[in-house]
Amino acid sequence: MSKLSYGPVLFNWSPETWRDAHFRIADEAPIDSVQLGEIVCSKRAPFLAPHLPAVIERLQAAGKEVILASPALVTTERERQAVRELIESADLPIEANDIGALPHLAGRPHMVGPLVNVYNEQALAWMAKRGATRVTLPAEIAGPAIATIAAAAQALSVEVEVQVFGRLPLAISARCYHARALGLHKDGCQFVCGQDADGMEVTTLDGEAFLAVNGTQTLSQSYHALLPELGALTGAGVTRFRLWPHACDMVAVARLFRDVLDGHAEPGPALETLRGLLGGAELANGYYHGKQGVAFAAE
């Protein structure tokens, strides 16, 4: 039975928005696992902390698996300390999003997030040997490679998760582009990233929609959407599908994916419904089909 996972919120939502979004997922969405935590910018993390216990409780009460996600780029001593504390104090499973989290997780069951590079079955096997129970693959891996890795995963009893919805995390930096765009520095950023719930839209000089900036992170402006591909992915042995949280109606998005997985909705019309839920935004599935990630290929 395939499962749906709700990735960590990548954007700087207000703490109340963040809390309420998760409450709604707990109460209404056919989501099986939820990753919590600020993985993009350590400066934002303190704001979520007060709401974390209530969100965990509500999700668990609703029968969701709750996983704490570790930060994506750890450079300062303070950030490193935070990772250590997160792992040592938590009695919840951890998703590692930086290799630096792995030594603290040795021998303990854990997840490996999509921002750690697992591109092949050799790396997967190595992660499994070290205690990884679930690995979410990087976005740029194409369908046949996913199938190869998923086949190996079954033999290793590791679960493979694939990103199927949302603006794709494409890059992470030590520099804050949100601050830079507004003439600020990362120190003294005034948390301007909070002004864009789905990231700051970036267009080309010709006015074409292109990227989205989320603080130190750069995302696609198109929404990655694998719906017709779910059947092939499931057939290949992929058991869990990640939805990245966005400001749109995520409960409806989750239901749509659930319905297609369960055979209660046709993928083609579901894509149109999804486009509607996103106000007509561009969709993309190129990576899966071995093309440029921005491409949207009809099957």
Partner 1 sequence: MGAFELICPAGTLASLKAAVDAGADSVYCGFRDETNARNFPGLNFSRAEMRQGVEYAHARGKKVFLAANTYAAAGRFAPWKAAVDDAAAIGLDAVILADIGVLDYAAGRHDGLGLHLSVQASASNPDAIRFYQEAFGIRRVVLPRVLTTADIARLNQEVSIETEVFVFGGMCPMAEGRCALSSYVTGLSPNSQGVCSPAEHVRYEERGTQMVSRLGGYTINVFEKDEPAGYPTLCKGRFVARGKTSYLFEEPTSLNAIGMLPELKAAGVVALKIEGRQRGRAYIQQVVSAHRAAIDAFGAGRAVASDRLGAVTEGGRETTGAYTKAWR
Q: Any contact of residue 292 with partner 1 (CB under 8 A)?
A: yes
Helix H or strand E encompassing 242: strand 240-243
- Position 233, amino acid: L
Q: Any contact of residue 202 with partner 1 (CB under 8 A)?
A: yes
Q: Any contact of residue 23 with partner 1 (CB under 8 A)?
A: no
Q: Any contact of residue 81 with partner 1 (CB under 8 A)?
A: no
Interface with partner 1 (CB under 8 A), residue total: 74
Q: Any contact of residue 287 with partner 1 (CB under 8 A)?
A: yes
Task: Please classify residue 191 by burial: count the beta carbons closer than 10 Å to its beta carbon, then call 0-12 exposed, 13-18 middle and 19+ buried.
Answer: middle
Q: Hey, which bits of 84-131 come out as E strands?
A: 94-96, 110-112
Q: Any contact of residue 190 with partner 1 (CB under 8 A)?
A: no
- In this complex, which beta carbon is closest to partner 1, that of residue 174 or of residue 298? 174
Residue that the structure tokens 């709750």 belong to: 66
Of the candidates 73, 55, 52, 72, the one whose C-alpha atom is nearest the C-alpha of residue 64 is 55
Report CA 147 to chain centroid distance, whole Å. Answer: 20
The residue range among 38-46, 244-252, 261-269, 289-297 that interacts with partner 1, by the rule CB under 8 A, is 289-297
138, 166, 215, 267: residue in contact with partner 1 (rule CB under 8 A): 138
Q: Any contact of residue 282 with partner 1 (CB under 8 A)?
A: no
Of the candidates 198, 236, 240, 234, the one whose C-alpha atom is nearest the C-alpha of residue 215 is 198
Contact assessment for residue 39 and residue 7, using Cβ atoms and an 8 Å cutoff: no
Q: How far is the CB of 256 from partner 1 (least distance, A)?
A: 24
Q: Any contact of residue 73 with partner 1 (CB under 8 A)?
A: yes
Residue 48 to residues 10, 74, 196, Cα–Cα distance (Å): 12, 18, 17
Q: Any contact of residue 264 with partner 1 (CB under 8 A)?
A: no
149, 227, 236, 271: residue in contact with partner 1 (rule CB under 8 A): 149
Q: Classify 88 in phi/psi space as left (phi over 0), alpha (psi -120 to 50) or beta.
A: alpha
Contact assessment for residue 239 and residue 2, using Cβ atoms and an 8 Å cutoff: yes
140, 249, 259, 282: residue in contact with partner 1 (rule CB under 8 A): 140
Interacting residues with partner 1 between 156 and 185 (CB under 8 A): 168, 170-177, 180-182, 185
Q: At 67, give phi and psi (nearest 5°).
A: -125, 140
The residue range among 30-38, 47-55, 125-133, 247-255 that interacts with partner 1, by the rule CB under 8 A, is 125-133
Q: Any contact of residue 117 with partner 1 (CB under 8 A)?
A: yes
Q: Any contact of residue 297 with partner 1 (CB under 8 A)?
A: no
| Integer Cα distance of 262 and 155 in angstroms | 25
Q: Any contact of residue 275 with partner 1 (CB under 8 A)?
A: no
- In this complex, which beta carbon is closest to partner 1, that of residue 33 or of residue 222? 222
- In this complex, which beta carbon is closest to partner 1, that of residue 14 or of residue 195? 195
Q: Any contact of residue 47 with partner 1 (CB under 8 A)?
A: no
Q: What sign for the dihedral angle of Cα 128, 287, 95, 3? A: negative
12, 33, 35, 218: residue in contact with partner 1 (rule CB under 8 A): 218
Start-to-end Cα distance in the chain: 24
Q: Any contact of residue 11 with partner 1 (CB under 8 A)?
A: no
